[in-house]
């Protein structure tokens, strides 16, 4: 267990924030705003949650600039430009040490003599490493993982239990891959014929670049030819589906249960919210944001924000969404004018 205490003044210095209240108040852990106690730190990143600041017991609270004038009663406030980032820095101080993975090969693991293992590698129970696979220095292969023929995994990567990486796929340095992920399963390709559906060979690979994190039970299909490509620093949530020959640009975010159809290409910094979908063979430019449950059916330019199904711009979405209420108001005005005209005619 960590036994660390920090003063409000020290935290303010750490996160480059402005301290309001006592600099000497100390905390020993972090918690959510509703559950936090007097010796804990919490945060509020939006002014609409100001009421929680009035009821919380937290001793120190990181707040957004909109709450800079909030009363610091029985607590210290630290005003931050980016509250989420500041809170993450504080969490890192109090986080428990991650588990220590034993270096070496567990007796129950099956490692081909034709596989290459770097220095300090950890191969855990019941893992299988096929011939031609190369595992970089310091990489951890969790219990029950399957690493296929000729797979390459870079140094410092972490594969949690029961990850499957199929033959010839490539994973870069410092990747974090959570339980149940399948990388390199066949893309979904079939041709209808008079005799039935004929499978299209999926001959490509999946390439995952450095510093990528992939959430539990996500699937990334191998390419029909060439590669399905997840570029550096991409962060993928749980239960995401990435189809064959998809390209995901650097630092993009794919949130839970979204899906991307074959040969779609996403630019740098794209955000797909939960349960959104992207049609195949289209392009989303750099910085595109797609709202939750939206379905994108055509290419979008850089910086576009898309909502709804089929996805459309914010202006289009709001115009269509508010049309019924606007129509009701217009109808009411027309009815009022009709009555007024009738009354004028009757008075003549």
Question: What is the sign of the dihedral through the CA atoms of 164, 255, 305 and 296?
Answer: positive
Question: What is the sign of the dihedral through the CA atoms of 319, 297, 253 and 234?
Answer: negative
Q: How many CB atoms lie within 10 A of CB 134?
A: 17
For 338, counting Cβ atoms within 10 Å of its Cβ (0-12 exposed, 13-18 middle, 19+ buried), the class is exposed
Q: Which residues of 73-100 are buried (b: 16+ CB within 10 A; e: fewer)?
A: eebbbbbbeebeebbeebeeebeeeeee
Instruction: Decide if 244 is catalytic.
Output: yes
H/E stretch holding 241: strand 241-242
**Active-site residue identified among 178, 244, 281, 321:** 244
**What is the pairing mode between strands 26-27 and 6-7?**
antiparallel
H/E stretch holding 93: helix 83-94
| Total residues belonging to the chain | 348
Give the DSSP letter string of 4-66: --EEHHHHHHHHT-EEES-S--EESEE--TTT--TTEEEEE-SGGGHHHHHH---SEEEE-GG
What is d(CA 14, CA 7) in angstroms, rounded to the nearest whole number? 11
Question: Is the distance from CB of 166 to CB of 204 less than 8 angstroms?
Answer: no
What is d(CA 285, CA 332) in angstroms, rounded to the nearest whole number? 43
269 φ/ψ angles, rounded to the nearest 5 degrees: 70, 25
What is d(CA 305, CA 84) in angstroms, rounded to the nearest whole number? 22
Q: How many CB atoms lie within 10 A of CB 101?
A: 17
Which are the catalytic amino acids?
244
């Amino acid at each position: 267990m960590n036994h660390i205490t920090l003063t409000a003044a020290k935290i303010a210095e750490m996160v480059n924030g402005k301290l309001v209240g006592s600099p000497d108040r100390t905390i020993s852990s972090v918690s959510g705003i509703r559950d936090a106690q007097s010796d804990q730190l919490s945060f509020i990143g939006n002014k609409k949650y100001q009421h929680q600041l009035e009821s919380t017991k937290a001793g120190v609270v990181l707040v957004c600039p909109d709450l800079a004038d909030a009363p610091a009663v029985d607590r210290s406030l630290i005003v931050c430009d980016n509250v989420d980032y500041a809170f993450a820095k504080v969490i890192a101080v109090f986080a428990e040490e991650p588990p220590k993975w034993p270096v070496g090969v567990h007796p129950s693991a099956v490692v081909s003599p034709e596989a290459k293992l770097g220095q300090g590698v950890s191969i855990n129970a019941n893992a299988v490493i096929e011939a031609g696979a190369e595992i970089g220095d310091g990489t951890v292969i969790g219990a029950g993982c399957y690493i296929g023929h000729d797979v390459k995994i870079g140094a410092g990567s972490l594969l949690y239990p029961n990850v499957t990486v199929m033959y010839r796929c490539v994973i870069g340095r410092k990747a974090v891959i959570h339980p149940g992920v399948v990388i390199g399963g066949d893309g979904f390709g079939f041709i209808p014929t008079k005799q039935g559906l004929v499978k299209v060979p999926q001959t490509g690979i999946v390439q995952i670049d450095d510093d990528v994190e992939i959430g539990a039970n996500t699937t990334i299909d191998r390419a029909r030819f060439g590669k399905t490509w997840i570029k550096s620093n991409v962060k993928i949530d749980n239960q995401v589906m990435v189809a064959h020959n998809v390209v995901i640009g650097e630092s993009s975010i794919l949130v839970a249960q979204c899906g991307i159809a074959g040969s779609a290409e996403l630019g740098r910094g794209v955000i797909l919210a939960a349960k959104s979908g992207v049609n195949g063979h289209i392009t989303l430019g750099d910085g595109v944001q797609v709202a939750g449950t939206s379905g994108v059916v055509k290419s979008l330019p850089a910086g576009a924000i898309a909502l709804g199904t089929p996805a459309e711009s914010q202006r289009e979405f709001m115009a269509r969404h508010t049309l019924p209420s606007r129509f009701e108001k217009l109808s009411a005005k027309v009815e009022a004018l009709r009555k007024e005209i009738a009354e004028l005619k009757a008075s003549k």
